[in-house]
Structure formats: C-alpha cells, structure tokens
C-alpha cells in the first residue's frame, strides 16, 4: 500500500495565483505560479479588486497545470490545502472557494493554512533535514515577525514590526526614488551600484522591546533626504540612497535575529518571506551565522516569494495532526500566526 501523502495546495492571498502538489511535505511534484506583477505595475502597487478578478480568471488553469505537471489526478491526492489568511479578502476568497469546491466534489479533506506558516515551511522543502526548534525571521510585504518555531505548528512570537513591514518599506522607498513596483527586487538590484554608507540612516530600535521593529522613521528619513536635496537643487544618486536604506534594514534585521538566537539558545537561524530573497540580507545572515557557528537556512528566492509549494509543506504537518477544515471555511484577512 502506498502511504505517501500528496497534497494539492492553493495560494491566492495577494498578487500571485499559485498551486502546487507536494509529497510528504518536503518533495515538490509541481509548483505553478501566475504572477500579476505586470498588471499592478501600471498602478504602482497591488490593486485589491483587480487582484481578485485576475485570480478568478486564472485559478482553474493554474490548478489544472499543477495537477498535470505532477502527473497526478484528484484520486491520487490525500487532501486539498488552501491559504485562508492573512491577505486581501477578495483575493483569499477565490482560493478558498476553489479549494472548498474541489474538496466537496472529490470528498477529500480540506486543510486551511496560515500564509505566514507557509512562508516558514518553505524551508522544509529547501532543507529536507531541517527540523524545529529554531528561530525564524519572516519578512514579507505584509509582515515582519521574529518567531521561535518550537515544533511543527507550534510558535512563539517574540518580535514584530510596530508599523510598516520590511517589504512595505522597500516598496514605498522604491516608489519615492522612482524605481517602480515591486520595490524590493528593484532596490536590491539598484543598491549593487551604490555606497551603503553614503547616507547614515537610522537603525531603529523600539524602547523596551529588543526584538520589535519599526521602519516608518527610516522611510521618512529617506523621503526627507530626497526633499532636502531637491530644495537645494542637488542631485542624489538613486543607487546610493537604495544601498544606504537597504543597509539600515538589513542591519537591524540581522542584529535582532542574532540576538534572539543567542538569548533563547537556539543554534539554527531561518529566514523566510519575500524580503528573504534580498541578496544583501541573505549575505548578512550567512556571514553573521558563520561567525557565531549557527546553522543558517533560507529558501532559494523562488520559494521566498509567494508560491503554492510552501502551503503544501505547511499543510502536511496539519494533515499529520488530523487538523482539517470544515466546508464552511472562510477567508480571514487579518489571521494571526498565534
Ligand atoms: O512574501 P511575499 O511574496 O508576499 C507577501 O506575503 O507580502 O513578499 C513580497 C514582498 C514585497 O514587498 C517585495 O518588494 C519584497 O517581498 N521582495 C524583496 C525582494 N524580492 C521581493 N525585498 C527586497 N529584496 C528582494 N530581492
Ligand atoms: Zn507572502
């Protein structure tokens, strides 16, 4: 008898329509992503209503391709998993409705997945040997969380952003420099030509909360620098601004995560989320972890940004616990990790 657990996963929380088939939580049989970036680029950011409509247009094709690429049919599956939050409510509803319809029609169990847990779980795909416990920094467009992953599905939140998420700061700063959307990858590329010490931007700390983050002051500092220069008729090299901003973000993320690993006594440090694709952040973590003899884990960039495979990986551990969702499952736009 074949005891393999095959999960079809669906992810539509923001601007990627994604679906994957994942075997036993760690092996990706297919991973299909239809990105809407070129559409939202026209507006300088994600337009929620357009995102929902585009998901509706694409979801059937994306799911069908995920099954085809995996060489699987519904009868081979053990469960259907879907991101139920956090995210844009209209966007989430498309994936949730698709998954519920498929689960109902095929009598397969339904698993609801927290998007942030999905990001963490991308590491289980990239590193088959990785097991909790570890410290994980999740940095995305919507979240900046420092978490102790005590066990599968068991988390302790030890730090979070008090205002903007790291990715949000990248996107807003990129817009102000005129780099366009999505800002993260554009700042990453532009910063390679710049001097990270051209401007000394604040490395923000939150009083009394050593692991919390704040990026709104840094964002304002970048804007003020731009305005002051334009009032004086001076020109600023965008690459210098991008590199100096990025340096500030990367420094505070690295310092907090390293301090947490030390204080809590964990020897593995894990990065996750779209901003974890940032080359400077990856390098900074890799160097710091090597120095302190900590294990460093970060998925390849394609598994850092939103995808279906990470949802299939997270769903596997819910499957093992027998945690299934009802067909009354709804989208929960502000769903918390814990
Ligand atoms: O995880 P993700 O795909 O979606 C959310 O869950 O939010 O993250 C998207 C965020 C965006 O803010 C994007 O600008 C940022 O990740 N991002 C990056 C890079 N690639 C994507 N930020 C910095 N450097 C990158 N290379
Ligand atoms: Zn995400």
CATH topology of domain 6-120+304-320: Nucleotidyltransferase; domain 5 (3.30.420)
Q: Using CA atoms, how far apart are residues 245 and 213, in angstroms rounded to an integer?
A: 15
List phi, psi (to 5°) of 9: -115, 145
- Assigned CATH for 132-298: 3.30.420.40
pLDDT of residue 204: 82
pLDDT (tens digit per residue) in 152-198 = 999 999 999 999 999 999 999 999 999 998 999 999 999 999 999 99
Is 52 or 338 the better-scoring residue by pLDDT?
Answer: 52
Ligand 1 pocket member 140 (CB < 6 A)? yes
Q: What spacing in Å lies between the alpha carbon of 274 and ligand 1's midpoint?
A: 3
pLDDT tens figures, 62-81: 999 999 999 999 999 999 99
User: Ramachandran region of residue 282, left (φ > 0), alpha (ψ -120 to 50) or beta?
Assistant: alpha
Say which range, 34-38, 41-45, 296-300, has the weakest mean pLDDT: 41-45
Residue nearest to atom 1 of ligand 1 (CA): 274
82, 95 in Cβ contact below 8 A?
A: yes
Mean pLDDT across the stretch 7-24?
98
Q: Do 132-298 and 6-120+304-320 fall under one CATH topology? A: yes
- pLDDT recorded at residue 2: 82
276 C-alpha to ligand 1 centroid (Å): 8
Report which DSSP code applies to 263.
Answer: H
Instruction: Tell me the CA–centroid distance for residue 79 and ligand 1, in Å.
Output: 29
Q: Which helix (H) or strand (E) segment is 290 a member of? A: helix 279-291
Taking the C-alpha atoms of residue 13 and residue 333, their distance in angstroms, rounded to an integer, is 9
Handedness of CA 37, 41, 46, 52 (dihedral sign): negative
- Residue among 298, 288, 284 nearest 191 (CA): 284
In tens, the pLDDT along 189-248 reads 999 999 999 999 999 889 899 999 999 999 999 999 999 999 999 999 999 999 999 999
Q: What are phi and psi of 34, to 5 degrees?
A: -110, 110
Between CA 7 and CA 16 the distance in angstroms is 19
- For the chain, the domains span 6-120+304-320, 132-298
pTM over 0.95: yes
Query: Cα separation of 24 and 79, whole Å?
Result: 11
Tell whether ligand 1 has an atom less than 6 A from the beta carbon of residue 308: no
Examine the pLDDT at 149 and tell me if it is beyond 90.
Answer: yes
Q: What does the block give as tokens for 193?
A: 């030509």
What is residue 69's three-state secondary structure? Answer: helix
Q: How confident is the model at residue 4 (pLDDT cuts 50, 70, 90)?
A: very high
Instruction: Name the token pair of 77.
Output: 């599956």
| Residue 1 scores a pLDDT above 90 | no
Q: What are the tokens at 261? A: 């690993």
Q: Is the CB of 12 under 6 A from ligand 1?
A: no
Identify which of 123, 305, 309 to mutate to test ligand 1's pocket (most ligand atoms within 8 A of the CB).
Answer: 305
Q: Ligand 2 center to residue 227 CA distance, Å?
A: 32
Rounded to 5 degrees, φ, ψ at 300 are -60, 155
What DSSP designation does 213 have?
A: B
117-145 pLDDT, tens digit each: 999 999 999 999 999 999 999 999 999 99
3-state secondary structure of 87: coil
| Secondary element (H or E) of residue 174 | helix 166-177
CA 184 – CA 148 distance, rounded (Å): 26
Residues 6+ apart with CB under 8 A from 47: 40
Distance of CA 33 to CAs 15, 66, 124, 165, 303, Å? 10, 9, 19, 23, 11
Provide the pLDDT for residue 205: 86
Per-residue pLDDT, 173:
96
> Is a pLDDT exceeding 90 seen at residue 273?
yes
24 Cα distance to chain centroid: 22
């Amino acid at each position: 008898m074949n005891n393999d657990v095959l999960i079809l996963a669906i992810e539509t929380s923001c601007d990627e329509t994604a679906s994957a088939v994942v075997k036993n939580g760690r092996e990706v049989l297919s991973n299909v992503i239809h990105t809407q970036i070129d559409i939202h680029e026209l507006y300088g950011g994600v337009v929620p209503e357009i995102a929902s409509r585009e998901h509706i247009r694409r979801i059937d094709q994306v799911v069908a391709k995920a099954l085809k690429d995996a060489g699987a049919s519904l009868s081979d599956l053990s469960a259907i998993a879907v991101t139920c939050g956090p995210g844009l409510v209209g966007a989430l509803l498309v994936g949730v409705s698709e998954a519920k319809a498929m689960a109902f029609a095929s009598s397969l169990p339904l698993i609801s997945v927290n998007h942030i847990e999905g990001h963490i779980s991308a590491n289980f795909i990239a590193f088959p040997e990785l097991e909790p416990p570890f410290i994980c920094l999740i940095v995305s467009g919507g979240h900046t969380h420092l978490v102790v992953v005590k066990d599968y599905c068991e988390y302790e939140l030890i730090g979070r952003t008090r205002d903007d998420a790291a990715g949000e700061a990248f996107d807003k700063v990129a817009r102000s420099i005129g780099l366009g959307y999505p800002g993260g990858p554009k700042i990453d590329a532009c910063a390679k030509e710049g001097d990270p010490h051209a401007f000394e931007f604040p490395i923000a700390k939150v009083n009394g909360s050593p692991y919390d983050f704040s990026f709104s002051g840094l964002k304002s500092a970048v804007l003020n620098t731009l305005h002051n220069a334009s009032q004086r008729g001076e020109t600023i090299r965008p690459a210098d601004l991008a590199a100096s901003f990025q340096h500030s973000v990367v420094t505070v993320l690295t310092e907090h995560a390293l301090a947490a690993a030390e204080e809590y006594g964990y020897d593995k440090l894990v990065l996750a989320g779209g901003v974890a694709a940032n080359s400077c952040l990856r390098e900074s973590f890799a160097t710091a972890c090597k120095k302190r003899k900590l294990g460093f884990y970060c998925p390849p960039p394609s598994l850092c940004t939103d995808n279906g495979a990470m949802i299939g990986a997270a769903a596997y551990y819910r499957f093992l616990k027998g945690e299934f969702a009802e067909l009354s499952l709804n989208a929960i736009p502000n769903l918390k990790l814990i």
